[in-house]
Amino acid sequence: MKAIGFYVSPRFQMLDLAGPAAVFEGANDQLGTPAYRVHVLAADAGAVTNSLGMAAAAASLDDAVLDTLVVVGGPIDPPPSVGVQGRLVKASRRSRRVASVCTGAFTLAAAGLLDGRRATTHWRYAARLQRDYPSVRVEADRIFCRDGKVWTSAGIAAGIDLALALIEEDHGFAIAKAVAQHLVVYHRRHGGQSQFAASVDLAPKNDRIVAALGYARDHVAEALTVERLAEAVGMSLRQFSRAFRAQTGTTPARVVERLRADLARGRIETTAEPVERIAEAVGFGDAENMRRAFIRVYGQPPQSIRRGIRSQGAVP
């Protein structure tokens, strides 16, 4: 049985704890055995009050022997004391994996656990993380990020994606997918997916634009012209183009490109599929089109992203 320890501090975010914890609980249900045991930890044993004013009973961090230490997000200021930072470092050395959810990355960074590593956090705080801790290579536009034994996730609900990825590493894709289905969540947003692109479908208030985005996702591997999208939702080309930009702030072509890039990056990072096959599968048509899109979206070609992941031993 793997012990998962969630480290909390006063005014921690409840969903940062409850979301990932529910994923590990769901894995136990799917596996039919107690594969994971969840613990709530704090600097000192006792009740810790979250941002909603509810208390959680926590055990001492010093007593924990863990498979995975997860630092839960909360207020950035003040940073943990030097003494607590040292105790977190010691706990990390006793753990196979270390992770953070949302602003929990600031706690890891303060303890020096992100020095020289790639990391992410909630997009609102990514610039500050980079400014306060220049030795960290902040990748702001990520759902979650892995660098060796250290995993970090974006804001709040992204902790669920992170936990699903950890379960997939332990027990495979099928179990992680079953857990996601049980929790009625998307399986699963890959680490390379944009925090911003992931929320683009939440922005439109126009039901037809929402429907157009859904249609684009469902038919992403096909030719998706503006005319086809407009026809799919029963709008004229001129009306659709104007409404789409007004609702999303960008063009249909850019959104389709981003959807394809996100899907392709997930496969680039997590499989050994040839780049040419991935490009065709997600609708880019050929590797050169995908390469140009990746440079526009991510600032680097697919091969560079795959090399970076392989250097950490994360691609099969």
| Residues labelled catalytic | 102
Q: Which residues of 107-146 are buried (b: 16+ CB within 10 A; e: fewer)?
A: bbbbbbbbeebbbbbbbebbeebbeebeebebbbbbbbbb
State the first-to-last Cα distance of the chain, in angstroms, to the nearest integer.
25
Dihedrals phi, psi of 205, to nearest 5 degrees? -100, -15
- Using CA atoms, how far apart are residues 294 and 234, in angstroms rounded to an integer? 31
| Residue in the block written with tokens 């969903």 | 15
Dihedrals phi, psi of 92, to nearest 5 degrees? -65, -35
In 3D space, the residue among 212, 268, 281 whose CA is nearest the CA of residue 242 turns out to be 212
- Using CA atoms, how far apart are residues 138 and 195, in angstroms rounded to an integer? 13
In 3D space, the residue among 296, 205, 297, 217 whose CA is nearest the CA of residue 244 turns out to be 205
- Using CA atoms, how far apart are residues 105 and 71, in angstroms rounded to an integer? 8
List beta partners, residue 39: 5
Alpha helices by DSSP H, 123-206: 126-132, 158-171, 173-183, 195-198
Q: Which two tokens stand for residue 18?
A: 């409850």
Residue 26 burial by Cβ neighbours in a 10 Å radius (0-12, 13-18, 19+): buried
